């Protein structure tokens, strides 16, 4: 069931994702709205995402431009 808070969170994330275009460098926090934001990013997006959140980095495992301040993301295992 989608709660009012999660519906609002998803709407905010979708709007923010629409502002991130190819060639951009963005810094994303590690909270739940940030996770929803990166889930909304198109797979073909060619942008650099910098995050300190391992949960965000794991969501971005299939995107080529992830910079995790927590360490290097090992794409095959989704470990940091």
Q: What is the DSSP string of 41-64?
A: S-TT---EEEES-HHHHHHTTTSS
Does 49 reside within a domain? yes
Give the whole-angstrom CA distance, residue 55 versus residue 60.
9
Does 79 reside within a domain? no
Does 41 reside within a domain? yes
Does 80 reside within a domain? no
Q: In terms of residue numbers, what domain contains 63?
A: 4-68
- The pLDDT of 7-13, averaged and rounded, is 93
Does 60 reside within a domain? yes
pLDDT band at residue 4 using 50, 70 and 90 as cut-offs: confident
Does 46 reside within a domain? yes
Q: What is the pLDDT of residue 21?
A: 93
16-74 pLDDT tens trace: 999 999 999 999 998 999 999 999 999 888 888 888 888 888 888 877 776 767 666 66
Number of folded domains that form the chain: 1
Does 30 reside within a domain? yes
Does 32 reside within a domain? yes
More confident residue, 14 or 5: 14
45: domain CATH number is 3.40.50.1360
């Amino acid at each position: 069931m989608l709660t009012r808070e999660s519906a609002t969170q998803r709407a905010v994330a979708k709007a923010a994702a629409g502002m991130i275009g190819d060639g951009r460098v963005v810094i994303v926090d590690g909270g739940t709205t940030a996770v929803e934001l990166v889930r909304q990013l198109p797979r073909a997006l060619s942008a650099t995402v910098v995050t300190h959140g391992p949960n965000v980095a794991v969501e971005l495992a299939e995107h080529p431009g992830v910079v995790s301040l927590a360490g290097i993301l090992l794409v095959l295992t989704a470990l940091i």
